[in-house]
Amino acid sequence: MKRMVRKWKRALPWMLIVSILFGCAMAIYTYRYEQDRYSAAYTFYALPTDESKDDSLQAARMLALECERVSKMETFRELVLSQADTDGNSFIHVKGVDGTHLIDVQVTGTDQTLVAGLANVAGQELMRYAETSLGSTNITEIQVAFMPEQSSGPNRPAKILYTILIVFAICSLLSVLFGDGSEYIHAGFDAGQNLVYTPYLGATIRCKKDVKRFIKKSKISKEPCKLLDSVDRLVLESIRLIAVTLRSKERVKETHSIAVTSLRPDEGKSVFVALLASELAQQGFRVLLVDLQGKSLILEKMLGADCKADLSEYVLGSKNLADVMTATSYENLLLISCKRQESSASYIVTQPKFTELLSKSTEIFDFVIFNMDPISYSSDASMVSAMTGTTILTAKDGLSTVEQMNAATQGLCEVANHLMGVVITETAHSNMHLFANE
């Protein structure tokens, strides 16, 4: 039942849009193309031949049904049309007035000047038929039909409303039968309730616009700009909460090294890494950030660095370790870039020089952070995770399902049994209350 409710809720915005569109289409059709209808009624009194019997009202009903049957016969229609004009859009409906011996002959059509004449002719012919063929007595004309002054339909508001309700009901049924019932990971998820194999570390506020403005500003500014000064206060609060959580982990205190990866590309991981490294450096910690994500220069732009040397040059022996470390806009933060122009990350991390880098840097720096490719993009993340002290997995808010998260965390745990937790990225400001790790 919960899965069906999730399917329905997830499809609710689209169902409302589709229902409103169909309602608008019906409104356009009924107001522009559907003509007004007019009704005129002729009433007469007819006493059945078996009036003397006990159930006289039942006999009156049978007489009305017989008159209705006759009105639908082709010969009767031809008889009426031979005496009255019609536009071809008129309909005759005969019914008895319940509890009486009265019979109503109602004609509905689009031409108000014709419906009254059709009703009078049809009523008079039915009176004649009831007297001659059915043996009815005391046949009396009660009311003749007059030309109607106002239209009697169509009921356009009701049509529009019924269309919206019917389409919404059909869409609801389709969403329950064929919709996506997967449970998605959001900020503040309960690891036990959602069956995720790793704890929740925190969430970061969506700040792509702030980062773009900062990069644009840093290009034209003569003075050095700092990333943390250009983002929203809520962004800073969310990063500080995660930084405090990391500092309290015994595994981080022992190894000083952290690998950060994500489920997919473009989930805000690099922005999170830059903010986290900047926050730790601003707090006074010595931080080394190693960018192993490839040819992207986003970290260099966000940290105000201009990397002249590459990690692959150090690994291949052409550069010293100090040569590949680049200063950033933060005094305690250094950046090592890896553009992979000659060697892949898989090759680099398996070289003795990389192991030497890891060993030396953890002795010098308080935090060594490795920015990795997504785990669904390459196997490098798993290789580095096995070598570093701990691993953080990032996932965009509302994009990954519980099953996908479970598969990713389980795969990382198989190669690196020190997966620390998950950070949810790109969270809306309205979800700030979910950041506290309960």
Question: Between β-strands 257-262 and 390-396, what pairing exists: parallel, antiparallel or unpaired?
Answer: parallel
pLDDT of 94 reads: 93
- pLDDT(80) > 80: yes
Q: Place 93 in a pLDDT band, splitting at 50, 70 and 90.
A: very high
Q: Are 187 and 397 in contact (CB under 8 A)?
A: yes
Average pLDDT over residues 396-409: 80
What pLDDT, on a 0 to 100 scale, did the predictor assign at position 24? 96
Asked if residue 288 has pLDDT above 90, the reply is yes
Residue 207, pLDDT > 90, answer: no
φ/ψ of residue 250, rounded to 5: -65, -35
Q: Above 90 in pLDDT, residue 41?
A: yes
Q: Which residue has the higher pLDDT, 187 or 162?
A: 162
pLDDT single digits (tens) 364-380 = 999 999 988 887 655 56
- Pick the more confident residue, 173 or 318: 173
Q: Domains in the chain, ordered, with CATH?
A: 2-33+154-178 (no CATH), 38-139 (3.30.310.50), 200-434 (3.40.50.300)
Residues in the chain: 438
Tokens of 142: 């009660």
Distance CA 101, CA 137 (A): 11
Helix residue ranges, H only, 221-268 = 233-247, 250-255
Q: Which of 66-80, 195-209, 388-402 is most confident?
A: 66-80
pLDDT, average across residues 398-424: 76
Mean pLDDT score, 34-46: 90
Torsion sign over Cα 233, 234, 239, 241: positive
Give, in order, the Cα–Cα distances in Å from 130 to each of 54, 93, 262.
21, 16, 86
Nearest to 200 by CA among 425, 428, 426: 425
Kindly write down the DSSP assignment for every residue of 197-223, as one continuous string: SS-EEEEEE--HHHHHHHHHHHHH-SS
First to last CA, the chain: 27
Positive or negative: CA dihedral 358, 363, 364, 366: positive
Q: What is the pTM of this model?
A: 0.64
State which of 15-19, 31-35, 327-331 shows the largest mean pLDDT. Answer: 15-19
Task: Kindly indicate the confidence band of residue 197, based on its pLDDT and cuts at 50, 70 and 90.
Answer: low
Angle between helices 112-132 and 56-71 (to 10 degrees): 120
- Across 79-93, average pLDDT: 88
Beta carbons of 103 and 44 less than 8 angstroms apart: yes
Residue 189 — very low, low, confident or very high, per pLDDT cuts 50/70/90? low
Query: CA 124 to CA 44: how far, in whole Å?
Result: 9
